[in-house]
A = this chain, B = another copy of it.
Amino acid sequence: MKVEPRTLPGFMELLPNEQIQFNAMVDKIRKSYEKFGFLPIDTPIIENAAVLLAKAGGETEKQIYRFNKGENDLALRFDLTVPLAKYVTEYYNDITFPFKRYQIGKVYRGERPQKGRYREFYQCDIDIIGEGTLSIINDAEMPSVIYTTIKELGFNDFTIRINNRKILNGLYMELGLEEKSVDIMRIIDKIDKIGKENVEKCLEDLEVEPEKIDKIMTFIGIEGTTDEKIQKLKALNFKNELFIKGVDELSEVVKYVRYFGVPDDNFKVDLTIARGLDYYTGTVYETFLNDYREVGSVCSGGRYDNLTEYYSDRKMSGVGVSIGLTRLFYKLNELNIIREKEKSIAKVLVVSMTTNINRALEVGAIFRNNNINTDVYSEDKKIKAKFKYADKLRIPFVAIIGEDEEKNGTVSLKNMETGEQEELKIEEAVKKLCS
């Protein structure tokens, strides 16, 4: 009896040519994170369930992959933030603060599988963790990293939206709506999807008084340039201290974001974003590709006050953002806008026109010694099959070795795109392939 070789639903598995494109995106994200000096870490996928669930609850707990092995109650990580909290607490004495780390890895959530939702997916996270406090300048570094990364991925028209939870929370305190603030933020977060009118309706349903709804709508309706918005926030003249602090922070972040070199075209203040997760306490970010709003936010995050509260009395604050790469790749693929050119791994395929492959192997070795990714076709197939192989793998050059080439110490190098072919000395072929 044969077993049916089926990959589980909700698990992305790519063909090699797609995998090449996916890996190119990972490489670019990593390169961009390293450009800012973030350090790599790689935590286990399996952890003690008690460690992962120290803070979780609700949906997370339902979705988590949890199981026993021997006497151990284990679980698969569902994000990279909880393992980071564990890591900084566990290795506190060996870590240099502020701790700038990146981690790119798979996380697991047993969601009901649906189009574009994955149970195993890559997150690409950066965070800066401070001992106790952490300068607001770090909040401005995040948009700079996002800017560099999204550019590196090949996009130009995107907007990093920045807000500050203190402003929102201050507003609700000012209005005496603290208890409803989480619900209100959830409603406002949907404004792009459901529109202003529906936001008002939802707020009515929540039994927010009409004059307070007016104030909220005025607040989230603040328009203008980034600087104008900040002016208008200040002009509201709210006395709530948290609100004032939030506006100050936002204004600082904007100032420093500019020193970091992020153009005004690529970021803006957006008073409607809150980021659902309750651990954000200050600056929050979302990033949208303006031509592809349907992709959703491609890079989000924010500032949190106490990363390690479930593990330690030591207070660690931080700020971070994350790219959900598996979903992003799926969406870009679906939209047919993967910005990687079709790429091959090998730059050249060496094929022998005769039954003697020895010279082809030697030439392959020479190419590789010159740092050229080189495949040698070694099956005993017709020449047509050899070219078809190069074609299917999109290898840009084929180096042909027949009797003449072997005698002359040359190869005939064929450009698979243009069809051009020329007989070259090995050194000349190397030069051409390196260019």
The contact of A313 among B2, B22, B259, by CB within 8 Å, is B2
The answer to whether A120 touches B379 (Cβ under 8 A) is no
Chain A 77-102 interface mask (CB, 8 Å, partner B; 1/0): 00000000111011100111010110
| CB atoms of A8 and B148 under 8 A apart | no
Does A36 lie within 8 Å of B5, measured CB to CB? Answer: no
B368 contacts A36, CB within 8 Å?
Answer: yes
CB neighbours (8 Å) of A66 from chain B are 67
> In the complex, A365→B105 CA distance in Å?
28
A256 nearest in chain B by CB position: B361
B13–A120 touching, CB < 8 Å: no
Task: Tell me the complex Cα distance, A312–B373, Å.
Answer: 33
Give which listed residue, B54, B375, B379, contacts A134 with CB less than 8 A: B379
Q: Which residues of B contact A50 (CB under 8 A)?
A: 3
Q: A233-257: which residues lie under 8 A (CB-CB) from chain B?
A: 256
Q: In the bound complex, do residue A310 and residue B19 qualify as a contact, i.e. CB atoms below 8 Å apart? A: no
Chain A 134-175 interface mask (CB, 8 Å, partner B; 1/0): 110110110010001000000000000000000000000000
Residues of B within 8 A of A42 (CB): 13-14, 19, 22-23
Residues of B within 8 A of A362 (CB): 259, 261
A328 at the interface (CB under 8 A from B): no
Is A39 touching B16 in the complex (CB atoms < 8 A)?
yes
Q: Closest B-chain residue to A22, C-beta based?
A: B42
Contact between B380 and A70 (Cβ–Cβ < 8 Å)?
no
Query: Which listed residue (B11, B16, B373, B379) contacts A98, Cβ 8 A?
Result: B379
| Docked complex Cα distance between A313 and B139 (Å) | 58
A189 close to chain B: CB less than 8 A: no
Q: Given the interface contacts A259-B358, A261-B365, A311-B4, does A120 sit within 8 Å of B39 by beta carbon?
A: no
Known pairs A16-B101, A46-B65, A110-B69; A345 contacts B392 (CB<8 A): no
For the complex formed, measure the closest distance between the CB of A261 and the CB atoms of chain B, giving whole angstroms: 4
> Which of chain B's residues have a CB closer than 8 A to the CB of A72?
8
Interface footprint category on A: 35 or more
A19 CB to closest chain B CB (Å) equals 5
- Contact between A8 and B48, CB atoms less than 8 A apart: yes
Chain B residue nearest to A38 in the complex (CB) = B345
Is B37's CB under 8 angstroms from A5's CB? Answer: no
Q: Top 7 nearest A-B pairs by Cβ distance? A: A37-B375, A67-B67, A37-B346, A261-B365, A16-B39, A137-B378, A259-B361
Interface residues of A (CB under 8 A from B): 2-8, 11-16, 19-20, 22-23, 34-48, 50-51, 54, 65-70, 72, 74, 85-87, 89-91, 94-96, 98, 100-101, 106, 108, 110, 119-120, 130, 134-135, 137-138, 140-141, 144, 148, 256, 259-261, 308, 310-313, 345-346, 349, 357-358, 361-362, 364-365, 368-369, 371-376, 378-380, 389, 392-393, 395
27 contacts between A and B (CB under 8 A): A3-B54, A4-B311, A5-B85, A6-B86, A6-B90, A7-B43, A8-B48, A13-B42, A15-B91, A15-B94, A16-B101, A19-B39, A19-B40, A23-B42, A34-B345, A34-B373, A35-B368, A36-B368, A36-B374, A44-B120, A45-B45, A45-B120, A96-B393, A98-B378, A140-B361, A144-B365, A261-B369
Given A98-B379, A260-B364, list of 13 further CB < 8 A pairs? A5-B90, A5-B311, A7-B86, A14-B41, A15-B94, A16-B95, A19-B41, A23-B40, A23-B42, A65-B67, A67-B68, A141-B378, A256-B358
